[in-house]
Amino acid sequence: MKNKYFILFLTLMFTFSIQKANAQEVQSTDEIQKLKQEIEQLKNESDTYKPGKSKFLLRGYAHSGLQITDEEFSFVGGSFNPLFIYKQSDRLLFESEWELELAGGEVKLAVEYANMSYLLSKNLTFRAGKILVPFGIYVPNLHPAWINKFPTGPLGAGHDGIIPSNDIGLELRGGSYLGNLKINYSIYAVNGSQLNDGEEEAEEAGILHHAIFPDNNKGKTIGGRLGFFPFSDSSLEFGISGMYGKVGAKETDMKDVAALHYALDISYVKTLSSMSSVLDMKGQYSGVNVDDANYPFHENPDDLITFDNNSSTWFAQISLRPALVENNFVRRLEFAGRYSTLKTPEGSEWETDQTQVDLGINYWIDWRTLFKVSYRISNSKEDGTTEEPDGHGGAPGNAFFVHWAIGF
């Protein structure tokens, strides 16, 4: 009897085990099914956010700060520069930088550039639209507030400087190798600068104005830049730039007046292990020669004056950032110095001969955000004052700046 009860017990246990196993199997199948549904749902959701070939990116920069001069102690608005970048395909790109600047209690809006780029080959790109003129290195590469080591630009640069900044036209650009020598190049045709004939503003007679539309004549300004990298690590770059075109207005006495802009630039950036620092040196010499012309004399517009309409400007800057030291505070510091000059034509109403020294210490919060503290010493040779006429990229007087800038 005992055996019968034992066999019955085993049979019941076996049956119970099979039922439980079946139930678990059903449960597992349900769970697998549920997981499959969840995976499918997640896949559908991820497909919703899967980027297509067309992609849009909003970047840009902003800056403002404190400016102290003999006459002024003021927080200044600086500017906000959104940069819209739209990648239409692997070959087609549109980009535009706007500048919203707080000045004189108003907001000034300007389109710095807006152009379409088409990648023709592995090393040649065609651009059309409003471009940053590839003239030297300051305007095309260094002007954004989070890249510029100083709160202001060097003498002669900027919207009112003698260095052309932006213009409308066509451009071919790219980079390539001649053996192991890396080069980059750009050739372009743009509307070009416009000569102020002094008819309306005699005190500005002979000045070249940049980025004014439409063109004042039918001639186009042709220009280009060539850059060479003699070292294999691309630490050193030499550049030569030039642009030539008519600047006089059509159907006037100055219709044949032309201008030649030229520039030489150099850049050296090297990580110095021995100093645990990054050394950055940049320089640019720029000049402009305008054909001779007769301009109205500002005190009596019936009288005509003429002068050698040649201007030049140059800057050299150096900065050292101990980015490789262990101390977290010290490695965020950067020490910078810049010397710049501006010389405009003798005999003109806007004659000036200025020099400017900027000394600064920057503190980097991250790779694109910094505080700048700098002191500027200005000098004007011709009359011993530090004042400078508006309109030539100069800035008046000695000044102390505390600025912040962010790139995003």
Partner 1 sequence: MKKIPIIIFLFTLLATIAIISSCQSTSPLAEAKSGAQLWGENCLRCHNAPSPESFSDAEWDVAVMHMRVRANLTEPEAVKIADFLKTAN
Calpha distance 369→404 (Å, rounded):
8
Calpha distance 98→21 (Å, rounded):
69
Which x/- pattern, by CB under 8 A, does the window 351-380 give for partner 1?
Answer: -------------x-xxx------------
Does residue 262 belong to the site contacting partner 1 (CB under 8 A)? yes
Contact, 326 vs 334, CB < 8 A? no
Q: Which of 69, 101, 185, 264 binds partner 1 (CB under 8 A)?
A: 185
What single letter denotes the amino acid at residue 145? A
Shortest Cβ 23–partner 1 spacing (Å): 46
Does residue 123 belong to the site contacting partner 1 (CB under 8 A)? yes
Region binding partner 1 by CB under 8 A among candidate stretches 113-121, 153-161, 209-217, 295-303: 113-121
Sites for partner 1 among residues 271-290 (CB under 8 A): 271, 278, 289
Residue 137 token pair: 């290195």
Region binding partner 1 by CB under 8 A among candidate stretches 71-79, 200-208, 210-218, 229-237: 229-237
Tell me how far CA of residue 251 lies from CA of 66, 185, 217, 256, 294, in angstroms: 47, 35, 9, 10, 16
Does residue 234 belong to the site contacting partner 1 (CB under 8 A)? yes
Q: 213-245 burial by CB neighbour count: b if 16+ within 10 A, else e?
A: eebbbebbbebbbebebeeeeeeebebebebbb
Q: Which of 222, 266, 316, 357 binds partner 1 (CB under 8 A)?
A: 222
Nearest to 111 by CA among 103, 124, 121, 101: 101
Return the number of the residue (258 or 336) whose C-beta is nearest partner 1: 258
Q: Which of 64, 96, 184, 398 binds partner 1 (CB under 8 A)?
A: 184
Return the number of the residue (95 or 167) whose C-beta is nearest partner 1: 95
Does residue 47 belong to the site contacting partner 1 (CB under 8 A)? no
Tell me how far CA of residue 399 lies from CA of 344, 380, 384, in angstroms: 23, 14, 17
Nearest to 129 by CA among 145, 116, 111, 147: 116
Sites for partner 1 among residues 289-308 (CB under 8 A): 289, 291
Q: Which of 63, 127, 376, 403 binds partner 1 (CB under 8 A)?
A: 127
| Euclidean distance between the first and the last CA atom of the chain, given in angstroms as a whole number | 88
- Give the binding site for partner 1 (CB under 8 A): 51, 55-57, 59, 85-87, 90, 93, 95, 117, 119, 121-125, 127, 140-142, 146-147, 172-180, 182-187, 222, 224, 226-227, 232-235, 237, 240, 242, 244, 258, 260, 262, 267, 269, 271, 278, 289, 291, 364, 366-368, 407
